[in-house]
Amino acid sequence: MIVVTGGAGFIGSNLVAALNARGRDDLLVVDDLTDGRKFRNLASARIADYVDVEDFERMIDRRDAALDGLDAVLHQGACADTTERDGRRMMRMNHESSKRVAGLCARLRAPLLYASSASVYGVGARFVEEPSAERPVNVYGWSKLLFDQWVRRALSEAQTQLVGLRYFNVYGPHEAHKGAMASVALHLHEQLRATGRVRLFEGTDGYAHGEQRRDFVHVADVCAVALWFLDHPERSGVFNVGTGASRSFLDVARAVIGFHGHGEVDFVPFPETLRGAYQSFTEADLTRLRAAGYQGSFRPVEVGVPEYLATLTDRPAAR
């Protein structure tokens, strides 16, 4: 059995689909369906069972025998709202819960692959998995970094695989429920369909209008990395997961407009509330990922964005 926490969410449900494509349906999905819309992400999935996150934590605490056949945990469950200011809630969901899951994996000697985040780098200019580059600017990023640090300390004595995957700007199917936290590709797509125009921020931090840059990575490529580590249990550590190449928001806008065949770009004032706490540039350093042995390729936005939008419309991506 493989447990996928956050399995009804964006990346979690894509991991479920990727495992199904491999013929695995012995999957226990763990999530919080307070937002019942997320069930749609699993509507076509083949799973063994679903358990609410609070019930799952009770199963861990009582050492429920139902978990004894555990092969691995893909731990994607978290509070992923980067604007959340309730630090107690954030730490309970992202740090304490993760330690509980890690304890389960240690007891059963089952691999743990968990979701970290590029938010640990804050507004710095270096995106390498080293403490000197890690300067989060919100409690979400700090909660992710704290668990990464906990894992680093545990690695020397771990008797099973521990892998943290620092996701950069992930986009792709099954993210609609995320609302404001959804990808820029989805937001621009919805803006264009509603008004025929897309909106980007005016210049900030030395970047021209719309030229702020992020490492945009398709969720299918993220899943490919995760499953590669699942296939290589001898590899452990904390690794960046991005394309390794930053692209501008204008590049994404052009990909959206190109897919639809029409549209114009408007530039809106940069919000004062985001100054000093906004990543105007991210770019994954993939040195450690490549050194671990992963040689898979990553879709550029010109390929990944149209491929994604084709899943949202009846218009196929151009070939």
Residue 313: both structure tokens together? 């419309």
Spatial CB neighbours of 287, under 8 Å, sequence gap ≥ 6: 128
- Coil, helix or strand at residue 4: strand
For 37, phi then psi, to 5°, come to -60, -25
DSSP string covering 45-92: ---SEEEEHHHHHHHHHTT-GGGTT--EEEE--S---TT---HHHHHI
On whether the CB atoms of residues 16 and 4 are closer than 8 A, the answer is: yes
DSSP string covering 153-206: HHHTT-SS-EEEEEE-EEE-TT-GGGGGGS-HHHHHHHHHHHHSEEEEEPP-TT
If we measure between CA atoms, which residue out of 172, 133, 199, 164 comes closest to residue 301?
A: 172
Give the active site residue among 140, 167, 171, 308: 140
Give the active site residue among 99, 178, 278, 294: 178
How far from the centroid of its chain's Cα atoms is residue 130's Cα?
20
Catalytic status, residue 207 = no
Distance between CA atoms of residues 76 and 70, nearest Å:
16
- Coil, helix or strand at residue 3: strand
- Coil, helix or strand at residue 231: helix
If we measure between CA atoms, which residue out of 237, 278, 244, 264 comes closest to residue 153?
A: 237
Catalytic status, residue 140 = yes
Residue 147: both structure tokens together? 């668990």
Number of helices and strands (H, E) in the chain? 10, 13
What is the set of active-site residues? 140, 178
